[in-house]
């Protein structure tokens, strides 16, 4: 099969590099267009990333000669699209929210679909915020989005913040099994890669914890509600439950976000064994469609007393699985557990690629 | 004033060394007796700690020539007491719970009061579990304890686990101000020194988090209730509230436990500004008595968005203050905040010394 | 091809687990025998390693049902050998040197060849200390060893300490090119996994360096001389040069040993460009034989100013390549460079497996 | 005694904050003038450092109301000098070398002496590069410098790079005792605070080593020669020995630079015991003058096998002492040892303050 040519916006940043790395051997997609800030524009990819590379060498040799374009200049992407080098783009743009919002719209308006990692459009009413296993049906707002905006081929789909990905799939599985979640308390212990590069200064994090990540708690409390919402009319209507309270901490870990979660259920409450059974058995559309980036089992239940741990579990199943453990009754609510996912793969580039695979399988790409 | 001669049981372990270090220049107490395992017995303190010292040199030179005794042999302490070298002991014993329980009782029965850091007697009904600012009145069970057991001069007083010390003082302050706390969710991010030495293997914690500390969550959920209880008849009766749910995580930090806390109040709820005012103004008996180890302000309220942090705040006011920050409404309960305290000082040896000062001031020592 | 059944002695320790992990998909060898301390004997491998696993799950599920034997009991290995389950053993024994020496001899005497990671036999005159790319010819002392000891099929072959593996291959390449190395100064920055598990206490290494590793400097100064020596008569005779001076430091890194090296050459001195050319072009017998564990290029020359780095380069080519960088003239000697290798793969289990592959290809296994 | 009013240039950076912190209780000097970049100018010190403070609270409260001036605007310092608020300045400027060079000259020309931490003037022939215990006599070039430049009261004195401070005092002691050092090999393991703030990204240093620090090796190889040189005529003439070769590595440590050093002596070679005796006994002019910042013993000899260590030894004697250990014969040269000093105190602000004390005692301030 001929691979679909794709572009990466923000290709030289850490998430952009993660996209390039994960797409290096992808069976469906092939990176043929890379764009970044004007500073990188005109340089070969190898040169533009020199001195700030985060992945294995072959990532940079494979597409090292690709000339990086200016992400602000949509006309270059249009030209590439015409030349058959850019069927859609992954957006890992790193600039002001308003700029990203306009720029992603400009790509979409030009007929180039945007599968985005950025937060700019997460709260745009007709833009789906997708976790492929959790709300794949939200993709079906795309025809409405196109109609709303008069776009024929382009569209925008986003993914949520990395911090919530360690527990949204487990919650979806419980909801599917008929257990309403009314309240949720979460404290995260997040890796430094979540802040990009250079990101967190080492002087702030060696032998230390920073109990604050700007904007992260608000995202953790709001985004789940849109994801658990429904397409109604021209928009996605957020769910009203669960109520969520979040603490987000930065910890001296390279990759892998831990979340400590307590849940309160509605009237119907599962036993601990039921919960484990539900999670172990859970699969969703990406698994049914056997999408290349989909983990075989979206949720891995660990029985050891001291797992999941970032260094030992973050890479499970291509770093795309969510590992859960310490599943037990909560002394205050109903259920407690610890969730873990790889923040730059499952929570960023890998999740974006899986979304694109889903959108392709659904016929939107 | 002539200093009171004191002993340290378990003097060569990390908490024992912390006691020796903090007592090096103490105005009231002077270490004149040190006991540890049979392996160390007979050696000079300097020699017994060679190769596993955690504090500054002068700590070991000052009492370096003190010959370490066998902690299991109470008769040696009795002899030291008679010789005027051991008016009471700090217990930092590290052995089986049952052994510690019997051994501490043997010292007390021999007329040597025991101010203990160990968990063995925390749930003995007539043994006070003291945080000097939180429940100093529990010390007044000592005459009852003595009577219960037929001891004249000896007694046992303990302190609670280090993990709860980052929030018990703030809670006491709120209770004193008339705000009942009905439910409490806490997730801790704890330092490796809490596990003693050698303790946590570096391979388990570099670039990693361990979301489990054996027994710690149970202690975190139960001990506050005894501390908030009341002396009734021959025993301390635990409080029934708050209900507590705890997650305890080990993190790559040397010293300083972080706690992320959500509180639900009873019918009467304070505003955020009231809470800050209550905490800033809070003092207790140790401050009134101007005890040497007491922090000037037991609770330091930080207004910065990203504090308290272990490396920056653990040493506040002789490492005896609790620092709190990120005080804000909880989306699910009523109040959220982050607390921090130094686990081997405030949470262990420093807290033990403050307890002894309190017991001295109250006339029990 | 039917795989050769192999055993692992010390199978539950960190190096033993590394052997099991690396052999999980090996094309030639299959683990069918595992032995460890009496404490583990009789348990299934999955059970014996519970709570102290260092590698991915499938490692433990694959051979999880294998019952662990007592490594001290050679008769069990003999029975396994007869049953066709143990053609030879990898030794990752962790006990006293004298015990290991006797025990490895007992296995060899029983006709079971021992490919060892232990240091016990490194200085036994008729035992080869192999780095497959550096002194593969030393394997040819095996017939002499067998004759010396009256063994028919068994033998012992060992590998050197992990700390020297970051520079021995580069030195061999320079010697092969005709450049005598007369003096060598090396300072290593070593990972904690080199100390095994539990190994280095986290309290010793968070925000810290320990400028001492017991015995490591002596090994670093002596072992290269045997490796660069020659089989003469019944023994391997050590080389007399280079003179070596070593500092070995423990650093807060999980895996990957860095070495900073200055070399003095004899009369003939290569240019920097020649050195780079020699290293880039270097291959040896393992590459010629295309052994499964052999890196394609034993030495990877990095041109970036700040490489090699442990986290970015330790996994190069199955974690079996040595990465070198910062190649430049020395202000005091002739040449300076930084070498890096993965200490538990290239420097331990992976190096042992490559040695076994070499010994198989040479007909000794 | 009335304190001397001093200024700090670059007062909001990490070294500037370190100056403010160390001067908070200084018996001779009092900070009454603070200057930084135009971005901070006009703000109160407390405000200008909000969100990037590295030291205890009282540091920022003490001088929190001091309004920060623009360091580029010398006229403000002149005004402050006239008002009796700025007798001299400590320079911790962080800008381009050429800019610093001109700016420091402008202050000096205006009659305001500059005691600098910056590297800009280290190689200016008539500017002394001082380590107070090593070359206090170089201060006596100041009258020549003033004459050269037509300055009456102003002058510039600098200190060397932090990386060499762990061994220059020991070398001075050996030279004083009559032992010529001909060659020196050094490998440093340096703390992240040496790179300032934000400095080293955490993604570069967690579970990692960076074997490169731009410019650091060149400084380590050259600066000692000027320091060991002599005032001759109008300039300081560098020594010709020792020849030095340096590797500089960045490690995951907050504060404290380790150096592993091998020395070759001239014809006369001390025994190990002599070396220890020389170092233990060493004192210099700062000790004789009993300067406030001077450590009682500039060199602390440690006999433990595994010391000095950054976390345990960096704070020795106000963080101003150099700790040395692992003193033993070198297998290639004559003597090996490990040195440690606190890079932002001894190696930066503390060293600068000690230099100022020396210059005051000598009558230049």
- CB B311 to CB D254 under 8 A? yes
The DSSP letter of residue B68 is P
Looking at the structure, tell me whether residues B156 and B206 fall in a common domain.
no
Looking at the structure, tell me whether residues C72 and C172 fall in a common domain.
no
Name chain D contacts of B51, Cβ cutoff 8 Å: 304-306
**Exposure b/e, A222-238, CB count within 10 A at least 16 = b:** bbbbbbbbebeeebbeb
Interface-testing mutation among D56, D255, D296, with chain B (most B C-beta atoms within 10 A) = D56
- Identified catalytic residue from C162, C248, C330, C342: C162
Name chain D contacts of B316, Cβ cutoff 8 Å: 56-57
Domain count, chain B: 2
Beta strand D322-329 with D335-341 is antiparallel
Residue C335 has pLDDT above 90, yes or no: yes
Candidates A209, A116, A205, A96; CA nearest to A159 is: A116
- CB B316 to CB D51 under 8 A? no
Looking at the structure, tell me whether residues C98 and C169 fall in a common domain.
no
Segment holding D190, helix H or strand E: strand D181-190
Looking at the structure, tell me whether residues D158 and D193 fall in a common domain.
no
DSSP string, B16-51: HHHHHHHHTT-SSEEEEEEEE-TTTTTSBHHHHTTT
- Cβ distance A242 to A222 under 8 Å? no
The DSSP letter of residue A181 is E
- Whether omega for the bond prior to residue A347 falls within 30 degrees of 0, making it cis, is no
pLDDT on residue D1: 66
pLDDT on residue B280: 98
DSSP string, A287-352: HHTT-TTS-SSSEEE--STT---HHHHTTHHHHTSEEEEEEEE-SSSSEEEEEEE-TTIIIIIHHH
Name chain D contacts of A253, Cβ cutoff 8 Å: 206
- Identified catalytic residue from A162, A248, A330, A342: A162
Q: Place D161 in a pLDDT band, splitting at 50, 70 and 90.
A: very high
pLDDT on residue C69: 97
Looking at the structure, tell me whether residues B94 and B240 fall in a common domain.
no
pLDDT tens digits, B177-196: 999 999 999 999 999 999 99
Q: What's the CA gap between B300 and B279, in Å, rounded?
A: 8
Q: What's the CA gap between D303 and D327, in Å, rounded?
A: 8
Name chain A contacts of B181, Cβ cutoff 8 Å: none
Q: What's the CA gap between A56 and A62, in Å, rounded?
A: 11
Supply φ then ψ for residue D42, to 5 degrees.
95, -20
Average the pLDDT over each of A106-120, B52-66, B282-296, D71-85 and give the range with the smallest value.
B52-66
Segment holding B143, helix H or strand E: helix B142-149
Residue C184 has pLDDT above 80, yes or no: yes
Segment holding B70, helix H or strand E: strand B69-70
Average the pLDDT over each of A58-72, A195-209, B316-330 and give the range with the smallest value.
A58-72
Q: Place B64 in a pLDDT band, splitting at 50, 70 and 90.
A: confident
Segment holding B142, helix H or strand E: helix B142-149
B356: left (phi > 0), else alpha (psi -120 to 50), else beta?
alpha
The DSSP letter of residue A3 is P
Give the distance from residue C201's alpha carbon to the nearest chain B alpha carbon, in angstroms.
5
- Asked if B338 is an interface residue toward chain A (Cβ–Cβ < 8 A), one would say yes
Written as six digits, the tokens of D79 are: 């005004």
Give catalytic status of residue B162 as yes or no: yes
- CB A304 to CB C56 under 8 A? no
Residue D27 has pLDDT above 80, yes or no: yes
By Cβ distance, the residue of B54, B193, B202 closest to C205 is B202
Written as six digits, the tokens of B360 are: 């001295």
Interface-testing mutation among A205, A211, A255, A335, with chain B (most B C-beta atoms within 10 A) = A211
Name chain A contacts of C304, Cβ cutoff 8 Å: 50-51
Candidates A178, A159, A189, A160; CA nearest to A261 is: A189
Q: Which residues of D are catalytic?
A: 162, 257
Residue B290 belongs to domain spanning: 163-342
pLDDT on residue B208: 98
pLDDT on residue A1: 66
Helix, strand or coil for residue D207? coil
- Asked if D197 is an interface residue toward chain A (Cβ–Cβ < 8 A), one would say yes
By Cβ distance, the residue of B198, B252, B253 closest to C201 is B198
Give the distance from residue A51's alpha carbon to the nearest chain D alpha carbon, in angstroms.
11
Partners of residue B88 on adjacent β-strands? B6
By Cβ distance, the residue of B51, B206, B304 closest to D304 is B51
pLDDT tens digits, A38-80: 999 999 999 999 888 988 888 888 888 899 999 999 999 999 9
- CB D206 to CB A14 under 8 A? no
Q: Stretch A296-319: mean pLDDT, rounded?
A: 96
pLDDT on residue C61: 82
Name chain C contacts of A306, Cβ cutoff 8 Å: 51
pLDDT on residue C1: 66
Give the distance from residue C222's alpha carbon to the nearest chain B alpha carbon, in angstroms.
27
Q: What distance lies between CA C322 and its chain's CA centroid?
A: 13
pLDDT on residue D11: 96
Chains B and D: how many Cβ contacts under 8 Å?
24
Q: What's the CA gap between A123 and A9, in Å, rounded?
A: 20
Looking at the structure, tell me whether residues D172 and D253 fall in a common domain.
yes
- Cβ distance A36 to A72 under 8 Å? no
- A123: domain CATH number is 3.40.50.720
Looking at the structure, tell me whether residues A68 and A125 fall in a common domain.
yes
pLDDT on residue A61: 82
Q: Stretch D212-217: mean pLDDT, rounded?
A: 97
Residue C360 has pLDDT above 90, yes or no: yes
Q: Residue by residue, what is the 3-state secondary structure of chain C?
A: CCCEEEEEECCCCHHHHHHHHHHCCCCCEEEEEEEECCCCCCCEHHHHCCCCCCCCHHHHHHCCCCECEECCCHHHHHHHHHCCCCCEEEECCCCCHHHHHHHHHHHHHCCCCEEECCCCCCCCCCCCECCCCCCHHHHHHHHHHHHHHCCCCCCEEECCCHHHCCCHHHHHHHHHCCCCEEEEEEEEEECHHHHCCCCCEHHHHCCCCECCCCCHHHHHHHHHHHHCCEEECCEEECCCCCEEEEEEEECCCCCCEEEEEEEEECCCCCCHHHHHHHHHHCCCHHHHCCCCCCCCCCEEECCCCCCCCHHHHCCHHHHCCEEEEEEEECCCCCEEEEEEECCCHHHHHHHHHHHHHHHHHCCCC
pLDDT on residue D56: 84
Segment holding D170, helix H or strand E: helix D168-176
- Residue in the block written with tokens 């968005």: B305
Beta strand C88-91 with C4-9 is parallel
- Asked if B184 is an interface residue toward chain A (Cβ–Cβ < 8 A), one would say yes
- C297: domain CATH number is 3.30.360.10
Supply φ then ψ for residue D4, to 5 degrees.
-80, 125
The pTM (predicted TM-score) of the whole model is 0.97
By Cβ distance, the residue of D51, D254, D304 closest to B304 is D51
Supply φ then ψ for residue C301, to 5 degrees.
-90, 120
Beta strand A181-190 with A243-250 is parallel
Q: What is the CA radius of gyration of chain C?
A: 20
By Cβ distance, the residue of D14, D192, D197 closest to A206 is D192
- Asked if C176 is an interface residue toward chain B (Cβ–Cβ < 8 A), one would say no
- CB C207 to CB D305 under 8 A? no
Beta strand A69-70 with A29-36 is parallel
pLDDT on residue C325: 98
The nearest alpha carbon in chain C to A306 belongs to C51
Residue D239 has pLDDT above 90, yes or no: yes
- CB A209 to CB B189 under 8 A? yes
pLDDT on residue C189: 98
Looking at the structure, tell me whether residues C217 and C147 fall in a common domain.
no
pLDDT tens digits, D313-325: 999 999 999 999 9
First-last CA distance in chain C:
16
Beta strand C335-341 with C322-329 is antiparallel
Q: What's the CA gap between B104 and B351, in Å, rounded?
A: 18
Give the distance from residue D172's alpha carbon to the nearest chain A alpha carbon, in angstroms.
32
Name chain C contacts of D208, Cβ cutoff 8 Å: 253, 309-312
- For D:244-283, CB contacts with A below 8 A are 252-254
The overall average pLDDT reported for chain C is: 96
Residue D216 has pLDDT above 70, yes or no: yes
Looking at the structure, tell me whether residues C306 and C178 fall in a common domain.
yes
pLDDT on residue C326: 98
The overall average pLDDT reported for chain B is: 96
Looking at the structure, tell me whether residues C81 and C217 fall in a common domain.
no
Average the pLDDT over each of A137-151, C47-61, C287-301, D248-262 and give the range with the smallest value.
C47-61
pLDDT tens digits, A135-177: 999 999 999 999 999 999 999 999 999 999 999 999 999 999 9
Give the distance from residue B208's alpha carbon to the nearest chain D alpha carbon, in angstroms.
10
Q: What's the CA gap between C128 and C141, in Å, rounded?
A: 7
Looking at the structure, tell me whether residues B203 and B312 fall in a common domain.
yes
Q: What's the CA gap between A349 and A342, in Å, rounded?
A: 10
Residue A184 has pLDDT above 90, yes or no: yes
Q: Stretch B28-39: mean pLDDT, rounded?
A: 96
By Cβ distance, the residue of A197, A207, A253 closest to D201 is A197
Give catalytic status of residue A248 as yes or no: no
The DSSP letter of residue D267 is S
Residue D60 has pLDDT above 90, yes or no: no
Residue D345 has pLDDT above 70, yes or no: yes
pLDDT on residue B57: 86
pLDDT on residue C60: 87
Looking at the structure, tell me whether residues A115 and A173 fall in a common domain.
no
Q: Stretch D29-43: mean pLDDT, rounded?
A: 96
- CB B309 to CB A246 under 8 A? no
Name chain C contacts of D253, Cβ cutoff 8 Å: 207-209, 252
Supply φ then ψ for residue C50, to 5 degrees.
-55, 135
D271's CB contacts (< 8 A; 6+ apart) are: none
């Amino acid at each position: 099969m001929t691979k679909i040519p794709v572009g990466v916006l923000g290709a030289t940043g850490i998430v952009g590099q993660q996209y390039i790395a994960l797409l290096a051997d992808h069976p469906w997609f092939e990176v043929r267009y890379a764009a970044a800030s004007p500073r990188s524009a005109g340089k070969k990819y190898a040169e533009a990333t020199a001195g700030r590379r985060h992945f294995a060498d072959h990532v940079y040799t494979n597409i090292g000669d690709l000339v990086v374009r200016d992400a602000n200049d949509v006309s270059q992407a249009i030209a590439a699209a015409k030349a058959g080098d850019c069927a859609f783009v992954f957006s890992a743009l790193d600039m002001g929210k308003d700029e990203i919002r306009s720029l992603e719209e400009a790509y979409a308006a030009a007929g180039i679909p945007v599968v985005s990692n950025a937060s700019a459009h997460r709260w745009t009413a007709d833009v789906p915020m997708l976790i492929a296993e959790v709300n794949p049906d939200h993709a079906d707002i795309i025809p409405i989005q196109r109609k709303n905006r008069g776009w024929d081929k382009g569209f925008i789909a986003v993914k949520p913040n990395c911090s919530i990905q360690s527990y949204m799939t487990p919650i979806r599985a419980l909801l599917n099994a008929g257990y309403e979640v009314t309240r949720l308390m979460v404290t995260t212990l997040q890796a430094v890669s979540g802040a990009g590069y250079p990101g967190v200064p080492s002087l702030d994090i060696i032998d230390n914890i920073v109990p604050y990540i700007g904007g992260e708690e608000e995202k953790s409390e709001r985004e789940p509600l849109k994801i658990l919402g429904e397409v109604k009319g021209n928009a996605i209507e957020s769910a009203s439950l669960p109520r969520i309270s979040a603490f987000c901490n930065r910890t001296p870990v390279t990759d892998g976000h831990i979340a400590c979660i307590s849940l309160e259920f509605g009237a119907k409450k599962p036993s601990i064994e039921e919960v484990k059974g539900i999670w172990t058995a859970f699969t969703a559309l990406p698994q049914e469609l056997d999408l290349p980036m989909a983990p075989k089992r979206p949720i891995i239940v660990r029985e050891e007393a001291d797992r999941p741990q970032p260094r030992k579990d973050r890479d499970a199943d291509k770093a795309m699985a969510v590992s859960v453990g310490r599943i037990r009754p909560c002394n205050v609510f109903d259920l407690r557990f610890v969730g873990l996912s790889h923040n730059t793969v499952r929570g960023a580039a890998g999740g974006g690629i899986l979304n694109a695979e889903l959108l392709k399988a659904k016929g939107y790409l």
